[in-house]
Structure 1
Amino acid sequence: MPYRVPEAKRLRLIVDTDAANEADDQFAIAHALLTPRFDIRGLIGAHYGARDADSMERSCREIEKLLRLMRLDGRYAATPGAPAAMKSEREAIVSPGSDLIVREAMRDDDARPLFVIFLGPLTDLAAAYLSEPRIADRLTAVWIGGGTYPDGAAEFNAGNDIAAANVVLGSGIPLWQVPKNVYSMIRVSLAELAAKVRPQGELGRYLFEQLVDFNERWGDKPAWPKGEMWMLGDSPAVSLLLDDHAFEFDMRPAPRLRADGAYEHAADGGGRLIRVYRYVDARFTLEDMYAKLALFHEATKEG
C-alpha cells in the first residue's frame, strides 16, 4: 500500500470464516488481508451446518485458494476449526482453531488489542472460552449473525450453532454484533462487481467469477439469490475495525437465543451489555475494498 499505519494504531486480528458456504466470505477475507491496520494472526476454517458433511474442510480449502491467489500461502495457512456445531452449551469442541484463539489471547508479549471476527457460527469462540475462560477480558469478538432486534428470528450463522451463540452471549467476552438487518445493508449489483472487482487481476476475477458461479448453481431457487445482486454481508466485520461507527450502535443486554433464533430477554431487562449495530456505512465498506483490490493489482503488476 502507498501508505503506512503507525504501529500504535494497528491491531491483531484472527479471521474465523465459513468460507465455502457461499460467495461473500471471500470478499471479506481478501479485504482483511489487504488492510495494513491488521496484523493477521490466523485464519480459521469454520463449519457451516449440515449441508456438507465436510464443510469445515471445504472452508479451509477455500481459504488456502485465496492465499495462493494473493501469493500469501507462504505466510499464512488455514487453521481447522470445529467440524460441527456443539451438542450442548457445556460440551466444547476443541480444535486447532479454538486453540489458536486461546494462544493468541493469552499472550503477554503484545499489548495491541486482539479482535476475532466471526463470519459464520461462534463454535470456535465458545470452545476457546469454555477451555480457557480467562480469554474473556483479552479479546473482542465481532460477529456477523443473529436476527433483527428486539425479537430476533431464524438467521443462518446463528442457526448453525445456537448453543455456541448462547455460550458467547452469556460470557464476559466483549461482543460487537452485526445482526441480519444491518449486514444486509451491504448491497451490490453484479454489474457493479463486474466493473469494479473483475478487472483487478487474478484475485478480482476469482472473486467475481466464484460469486457468479454460485449464483448459477442456485439459479433454480426463486427467492434467493435474487439473480442480479448480492449482499456482501461479511464485509462489515472488516470495515468496523477501520472505523467503529461510534454513533451507530446501541449497548443492549445480551439475550439468549431460542432454537428458532428468536431472542429471549431477561424479565427484568438486565444482563451483561453487548454492542449491537443498527447501521453500517456501505459506501465506506465497499469503496475501501475496491480501492485496496485496485492498489493490490497495480502493485502485483509492477512486482
Structure 2
Amino acid sequence: MGLDFTTPEYKRLRVIVDTDAACEADDPFAIVHALLSPKLCVMGILAEHFKVEGSMQRSYDEIKTILDAMGMSVPVFHGQNGLLSEDESISEAAKFIIDEALKDDERPLFILCQGAITNVAKALEFCPEIRYKITVIWIGTHGEAPCKAPFTEFNAVNDIPAANLVLQSGVDLWLVPSHVYITINIGIAEIQRRIRPCGKIGEHLFKNLVDYNMSEGAGWTQGESWSLGDSPAIAIAINPGCGHYHTAKAPLVLEDTSSAVKEDNPDIRIYTDVDSRYILEDLIAKLELCYGN
C-alpha cells in the first residue's frame, strides 16, 4: 500500500525538522508525520538538546531509530550540545540550516521546531541574513503578551536566551503557543488500536509512549491519554489554514516563561487554535496507508 496521490511540485516545501526527539513521547509522531507527507521535502532532521547532559545525542539516536523503523534514509545532524550562551561552537545542525537557507532553490524553506530553539538561534546568530530566507514554525511559549505563565513552558525554558533571540530576530515566525498545542489529545487505547499495527514504526511509537507514560518523568501526564503537542508544527506546514491565527508583537519570554510586552519586538504570526481532528486523522491515515496490513 501507500499514498496514491502526491502534491504538485510548485506547492512543495523544503523543510528541516528540529527536534528533541528523546525528551518524551510526542516528537516521534511528528517526525513520522513529516516524513509521510508528500508536500514536505524533508531535507534533514536536526537533533536538539533538552537541557540535560547528553540529551542532544539521545535525540540524535532516537531520530536514527525512527528512520530505521520506517526504512527511510534522511540526513540527520548533531545540534548544539547545550544552551546558546554555554555552547560557543557552531554545530553541524546550525551549519546545515545556514547552508540550506543560502541555496539557490525556489521552494520555500521551513524550519519546523519541536523543542528548545537553540539550533535555529545559533544559525541566526552566526548568519543573521538567513532570517529573510526561512520561515520558522515553533511549538513554544505561552503566546501573546502579556500572559502570566500558567505552568513552566518546557520548550522555551530549555533555552530562554535562544527563544528571545529568535523572537526578536525579525525572522518569519509562526508561533504555536501552549494553550494551542496541548489540545492535540489522543487516548493511548486509540494509539494501540490504530497506530501500533502499522509495522515496526507503529510498534515503536506505541511502546516508546507507553514506556515513558510509566516512567517517573511522566508525572505531569493524565495517565491514559497524550497530547501530541509537536504535531501542529507539521500540520501547519502542510496546511497553514488548519487553524486560526493573527499577527501580534512577539513576546519577551521571562525566566518563569511568562510572556511580557516588549514594544520593539517584531510582529509574528500567532496561532490561536488548530484542528486536532485533521491533524490526528492525517497522521493516522498516512501510517495506515503506508505501514498498515
TM-score range, shorter chain: over 0.9
Is the aligned partner of 1:284 residue 2:286?
no
SS of the counterpart of 1:135?
Answer: helix
Cα 1:188/1:68, change in 2 over 3 Å: same
1:157: which partner in 2? 155
Deviations along 1:193-245, one digit per CA (max 9) or x if unpaired, are 11111111111111011100111113883xx2211000000000011112112
2:23: which partner in 1? 21
Is the aligned partner of 1:86 residue 2:84?
yes
1:165 partner letter? A
Separation (CA, whole Å) in 1 of partners of 2:37 and 2:88? 32
1:231: which partner in 2? 227
SS of the counterpart of 1:241?
Answer: helix
Count of aligned pairs:
288
Separation (CA, whole Å) in 2 of partners of 1:23 and 1:247? 23
SS of the counterpart of 2:238?
Answer: coil
Query: What residue ranges of structure 1 are gaps of 5+ in the alignment?
Result: none
1:129: which partner in 2? 124
Equivalent of 1:293 in 284, 287, 290: 287
Is the aligned partner of 1:139 residue 2:107?
no
Separation (CA, whole Å) in 2 of partners of 1:220 and 1:167? 30
Query: What residue ranges of structure 2 are gaps of 5+ in the alignment?
Result: none
2:67: which partner in 1? 67
Counting only pairs closer than 5 Å after superposition, residues 46-65 of structure 1 correspond to structure 2 as 46-50=48-52, 53-65=53-65
Counting only pairs closer than 5 Å after superposition, residues 1-303 of structure 1 correspond to structure 2 as 1-50=3-52, 53-72=53-72, 75-87=73-85, 93-108=89-104, 110-150=105-145, 151-153=147-149, 154-218=152-216, 221=219, 224-245=220-241, 248-266=244-262, 269=263, 271-298=265-292
Separation (CA, whole Å) in 2 of partners of 1:227 and 1:87? 36
SS of the counterpart of 2:85?
Answer: coil
Separation (CA, whole Å) in 2 of partners of 1:169 and 1:148? 11
1:77 Cα offset (Å): 3.3
Separation (CA, whole Å) in 2 of partners of 1:8 and 1:297? 28
SS of the counterpart of 1:251?
Answer: strand
Separation (CA, whole Å) in 2 of partners of 1:277 and 1:8? 25
Separation (CA, whole Å) in 1 of partners of 2:261 and 2:89? 27
Greater relative contact order (CA < 8 Å, ≥ 6 in sequence): 2
Separation (CA, whole Å) in 2 of partners of 1:181 and 1:237? 14
SS of the counterpart of 2:46?
Answer: strand
Conserved? CA contact 2:195–2:287, under 8 Å: yes
Conserved? CA contact 2:160–2:255, under 8 Å: yes
Deviations along 1:41-84, one digit per CA (max 9) or x if unpaired, are 1000000013xx10000000000000101111xx3132000010
Conserved? CA contact 1:92–1:131, under 8 Å: no
Cα 1:249/1:93, change in 2 over 3 Å: farther
1:174 partner letter? D
SS of the counterpart of 2:81?
Answer: coil
User: Which aligned runs of 4 or more in structure 1 are off by greater than 6 angstroms?
Assistant: none
Conserved? CA contact 2:138–2:173, under 8 Å: yes
Separation (CA, whole Å) in 1 of partners of 2:33 and 2:148? 29
Conserved? CA contact 1:64–1:77, under 8 Å: no
Separation (CA, whole Å) in 1 of partners of 2:217 and 2:249? 40
Separation (CA, whole Å) in 1 of partners of 2:242 and 2:228? 22
1:166 partner letter? N
Deviations along 1:126-174, one digit per CA (max 9) or x if unpaired, are 1101111110110000000101433152200000000001110110110
1:55 partner letter? S
1:68 partner letter? D
Deviations along 1:253-279, one digit per CA (max 9) or x if unpaired, are 11211111112213xx55310011110
